[in-house]
């Protein structure tokens, strides 16, 4: 199954504090950079799991944008639908406490407002060759609606990205399955009513997954947390990977939870050693 990931592709910066944060003053810490963007992260995770994937996004005509494309091409992700804009490539800066939990995230992503229906029109023939679409709420609301109208019978999965952007999905909740979001984003969407299938994440507490009237609490797998950035994207990719093989929805979410556990133990947004075999092994070890 070929999956198209449509949305953000940019640079992530992780600032890890050496002590609990103190507002209004300088805080010592270390900063590293990695590739980021929800759609891009999901695409990379899918590629590492062995799933054919194409990315639809927008990057700047700069070194960062060229690096994003080169890296994905090295993983055999189809980047032919990644357009180049005159604006700089987007970025996301995550400030993490010493335990690796997010304190504050800064998103510089105005670039994605240019991912409008006219911009994506040329990509539609290739998109229609894909068996499933994943979208993130970095896309403008009008673009999300345009894609939902053209999805046909294919799976349309979505991620709410942030509280500031979650409301962009409100008009297409009936078309989305599965929907991925956290508690704060769900509150902004009024509880995500209308989405017939989804995953509500709660960090170390695990997730609440639902399909129709069947709702199940699934625990997070034990992990030595190093950096939580990208864990949700690994969860999404893992679930989509198994759904692409017609797996049971809840089993697919459990696979995603194992991928997320591997990711939080890694120093980057995506675990560079991620493979389907590694995730299956992590699941098996958790059952012992």
Q: What residues in the chain have per-residue pLDDT under 70?
A: none
Question: Do 131 and 152 meet the contact criterion of CB atoms below 8 Å apart?
Answer: no
DSSP 191: S
Q: Is 149 exposed, middle or buried (0-12, 13-18, 19+ CB in 10 A)?
A: exposed
Question: Do 85 and 60 meet the contact criterion of CB atoms below 8 Å apart?
Answer: yes
Task: Write down the pLDDT at residue 84.
Answer: 95
Task: Write down the pLDDT at residue 149.
Answer: 97
Task: Write down the pLDDT at residue 107.
Answer: 87
What tens digit of pLDDT does each residue of 247-280 get? Answer: 999 999 999 999 999 999 998 889 999 999 999 9
Task: Write down the pLDDT at residue 272.
Answer: 95
Give whole-number Cα distances, 11 to 108, 119, 126, 172, 267, in Å: 10, 22, 26, 28, 15
Give pTM, 2 decimals. 0.93
Query: Which residue, 223, 181, 222, 221, is CA-closest to 198?
Result: 181
Tally Cβ neighbours within 10 Å of residue 52: 15
Domain ranges of the chain: 3-114+129-287
Task: Write down the pLDDT at residue 191.
Answer: 81
Task: Write down the pLDDT at residue 227.
Answer: 83
Q: Return the CATH number of the domain spanning residue range 3-114+129-287.
A: 3.40.1190.20
Task: Write down the pLDDT at residue 16.
Answer: 92
Task: Write down the pLDDT at residue 100.
Answer: 82
Tally Cβ neighbours within 10 Å of residue 38: 28
Q: Cα separation of 236 and 268, whole Å? A: 17
């Amino acid at each position: 199954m070929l999956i198209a990931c449509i949305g953000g592709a940019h640079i992530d910066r992780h600032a890890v504090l050496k002590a609990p944060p103190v507002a209004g003053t300088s805080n010592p810490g270390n900063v590293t950079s990695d590739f980021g963007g929800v759609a891009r992260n999901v695409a990379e995770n899918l590629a590492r799991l062995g799933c054919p994937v194409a990315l639809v996004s927008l990057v700047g005509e700069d070194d960062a944008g060229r690096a994003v494309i080169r890296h994905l091409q090295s993983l055999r992700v189809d980047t032919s639908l990644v357009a180049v804009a005159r604006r700089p490539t987007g970025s996301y800066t995550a400030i993490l406490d010493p335990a690796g939990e997010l304190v504050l995230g800064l998103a510089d992503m105005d670039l994605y407002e240019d991912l409008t229906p006219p911009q994506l029109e040329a990509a539609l023939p290739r998109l229609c060759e894909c068996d499933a679409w994943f979208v993130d709420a970095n896309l403008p609301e009008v673009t999300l609606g345009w894609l939902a109208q053209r999805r046909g019978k294919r799976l349309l999965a979505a991620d709410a990205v942030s509280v500031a952007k979650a409301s962009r999905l409100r008009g297409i909740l009936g078309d989305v399955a599965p929907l991925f979001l956290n508690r704060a984003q769900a509150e902004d969407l009024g509880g995500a009513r209308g989405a017939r299938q989804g995953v509500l994440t709660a960090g170390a507490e695990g997730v609440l997954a639902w399909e129709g009237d069947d709702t199940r609490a699934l625990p997070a797998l034990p992990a030595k947390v190093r950096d939580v950035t990208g864990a949700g994207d690994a969860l999404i990719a893992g679930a989509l990977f198994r759904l692409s093989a017609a797996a049971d929805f809840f089993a697919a979410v459990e696979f995603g939870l194992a991928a997320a556990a591997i990711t939080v133990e890694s120093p980057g947004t995506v675990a560079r050693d991620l493979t389907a075999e590694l995730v299956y092994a992590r699941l098996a070890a958790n059952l012992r």
